Chains A and B, each alone.
Chain A
């Protein structure tokens, strides 16, 4: 790949601004609204993407996908409702920043971390593509089971004030995630007799219930979601706050760089996804911080880490699809369908037979991130005003509108009722400090966990010791144990000093 080729690709992608911009705008809307996933939107738009030339279709899909990851952080910061699972970790410090009256700075940080995180990892992917594509091959079903348990443990350790409560939430979510028929015999498990649960628990209903409905039921205790000082700051919000957010971006530039690479590394693992990446990056950020005790109180690093990582995932997810023909996630799977419809064969040969498309995808991603910066940054000031709406109005709107959105994923009225049930469970969890984030991530990981564990157990004829049979897996087990033990040891040492 020469510089001339790359420059030509950039010029070609800039020429596709008329496809990229609508993709970005649609991605922002879809990302902000819980219940609208990029994969569902892409499926609805299949008639369009199949009809236009493949380069145009891919530029559109990639722009929408990246913008969706970026925008999911907005409701997470403003009202503690992540637009997608990948933004769940953003609530940990984003929402406290809002409560302190720094919503605008948090949103700007989220945008810039997302854009630069996405841009840096996309450029790195372009440079390292042949090597990166091999990484995913080393992780088989056994290692994937441990990766998921590791992710869940990290979330329990990070997000919950009480690790045991976090673990109970996570495993409760994981068991809920296994509801439905099994992959081999199609036998229903724990479906309460509902046919609607045979396909498993709908993730959108779980997301909406655990975050939106439960949070709205809690927020009615206060007049505004911000305190008195926060309200005064929000009312005085000006362009100076946007500039303050940009100043923070420059101050923490290195943080953006390294946490985005955490996202890239995890994105390459098929199925791991943005939610795990964001939490791992957040945990690593806290682990290496000079002031880990301030995490969760509303600090910039706590917003940067998950946002840079969940956008670092975007390019990583496409690597196994382009290089191996294995989609890294559902959105990538939809994109693959479009490519296959156009006669493209995924795999290593794509880079020699059709380099314009293979590398062009990542160039389109880089261009989309550049466009996004100028599209969305000026909006931060106006988005932050939402915190000034009284909860008297905000809570009913959040509950009823998000319950309606729960219908969007599968078009079942049942899912709306399920969102309400999850809302009540989430409310009880909120009030008793059983972290809903750990529960949601458990629900998200449940089906994948089942798939990989079943595969590993079939290979070993049901012998559970297979989970300790690989070197990489055992190293991961070591990290898992360390993640549980280290915080306790650190806390003990701090107390004794």
Chain B
């Protein structure tokens, strides 16, 4: 097993920041100076900081103290599936919200998330999902009357 520091993971945020700064500069290229002054000042400082960090990482790699592995991002591997599953369930929840409404989509997403996390007892999955969805209904729909999409449950109870 390599004892070198996995510095590839350390590149993720600087690369993201650099990409975003480049996009920011592109988006303000044609604007008046008043509109782009802030972006230029902050973006330039950010790029300078990222350049220092990249130089530091390059020096560490050159000295053999680290390599470009990005292991910390997906370790421990045994929870990687759960982690990806949680993100996908959330994406699905937001996508289904318009069709199913808040209560039903939250119930379904919570049940799916609990199963992904390893809860196997159907009664526990059901009651936790039910409690969370019911609380969300009471708070956001019944009390606050917020603009969440209404689905079959909300229409039934209205």
The residues of A with any CB-CB pair to B shorter than 8 Å are 44, 164-165, 167-169, 171-172, 174-176, 178, 182, 184-185, 187-192, 213, 216-217, 220-221, 392-393, 395-397, 399-401, 403-404, 407-408, 411, 413, 416-417, 420, 423-425, 428-429, 431-432, 434, 449-450, 453-454, 457-458, 462, 464
CA distance A182 to B38 in the complex (A): 9
**A178-B42, A432-B73 given; A407·B146 CB < 8 A:** yes
B25 → A minimal CB distance (Å): 9
A187 to B37, CA, bound (A): 13
How far is it, in angstroms, between the C-alpha of A411 and the C-alpha of B145 when the chains are bound?
11
CB within 8 A of A404: which of B56, B86, B102, B117? B102
Contact call B35/A184, Cβ cutoff below 8 A:
yes
Assess the B13–A416 pair: CB atoms within 8 A. Answer: no
Known contacts being A168-B13, A401-B132, A428-B13, is A454 close to B86, with CB within 8 Å?
Answer: no
Contact A399:B113 (CB < 8 A) given known A175-B21, A178-B39, A454-B37: yes
Contact with A along B61-98 (1 / 0, CB 8 A): 00000000000110010010011001101110110011
Contact A190 B24 (CB under 8 A): yes
Q: What is the CA–CA distance of A73 and B20 in the complex, to the nearest angstrom?
A: 32
From A187, A192, A395, A420, B94 is in contact (CB under 8 Å) with: A420
Q: With A164-B53, A408-B146 known to touch, is A393 a contact of B13 (CB < 8 Å)?
A: no
B100 CB-CB contact with A under 8 Å: no
With contact pairs A401-B132, A417-B94, A432-B12 given, residues A396 and B114 touching in the complex (Cβ less than 8 Å): yes
Seed contacts A167-B49, A190-B27; 8 additional CB < 8 Å A-B pairs: A168-B17, A168-B46, A172-B17, A172-B20, A185-B32, A190-B28, A425-B16, A458-B34
Which residues from chain A contact B12 at a C-beta distance below 8 Å? Answer: 428, 432
* Cβ contact within 8 Å between A395 and B31: no
Please state if A221 and B110 are interface contacts (CB–CB under 8 Å): no
Q: Provided the pairs A175-B43, A221-B79, A400-B132 are in contact, do residues A164 and B56 lie with their beta carbons within 8 angstroms? A: yes
B119, CB-defined interface residue at 8 Å:
yes
Within 8 A of A (CB), among B6-45: 9-10, 12-14, 16-17, 20-21, 23-24, 27-28, 31-39, 41-43, 45
Inter-chain CA distance A407–B102, complex, in Å, is 11
Per DSSP, chain B at the interface is helix
Contact B106 A404 (CB under 8 A): yes
Instruction: Return the contact of B119 from the options A164, A189, A393 (Cβ within 8 A).
Output: A393
Q: How far is it, in angstroms, between the C-alpha of A29 and the C-alpha of B91 when the chains are bound?
A: 28
Q: How far is the CB of A187 from chain B (nearest CB, A)?
A: 5
Bound state CA distance, A167 and B43, in angstroms?
13
- When distances are taken between beta carbons in the complex, the residues of chain B under 8 Å from A458 are 34
Residues of A within 8 A of B28 (CB): 187, 189-190
A416→B132 CA distance, assembly (Å): 17
Question: Known contacts being A168-B49, A190-B24, A432-B10, is A416 close to B113, with CB within 8 Å?
Answer: no
**Interface size range on B against A:** 35 or more
Taking a contact as CB atoms closer than 8 A, the residue among B36, B38, B79 that contacts A220 in the complex is B79
**Which residues of A are found within 8 Å of B52, using beta-carbon distances?**
164
B37 near A189 with CB under 8 A, answer: no
Task: Check if B134 is an interface residue, CB within 8 A of chain A.
Answer: no
Distance in Å: Cβ of B24 to nearest Cβ of chain A: 4
> What are the nearest 6 A-B pairs in CB distance?
A396-B113, A182-B35, A171-B46, A411-B147, A172-B17, A434-B13
Instruction: List, in ascending order, chain B residues with CB within 8 A of A216's CB.
Output: 86
B50 adjacent to chain A (CB < 8 Å): yes
User: What are the residues of chain A within 8 A of B122 when measuring CB–CB?
Assistant: none
Complex CA–CA separation, A176 to B16 (angstroms): 12
> How many Å from the CB of A424 to the closest CB on chain B?
7
Q: CA separation between A408 and B33, bound complex, in Å?
A: 35
Question: Are B34 and A184 touching (Cβ within 8 A)?
Answer: yes
Residues of chain B within 8 A (CB-CB) of A413 are: 94, 97-98, 149
Asked whether any CB of chain A lies closer than 8 Å to the CB of B128, the reply is: yes
Minimal beta-carbon separation of A152 from chain B (angstroms): 10
A216 to B82 alpha-carbon distance, docked (Å): 11
Partner of A189, one of B14, B36, B136: B36
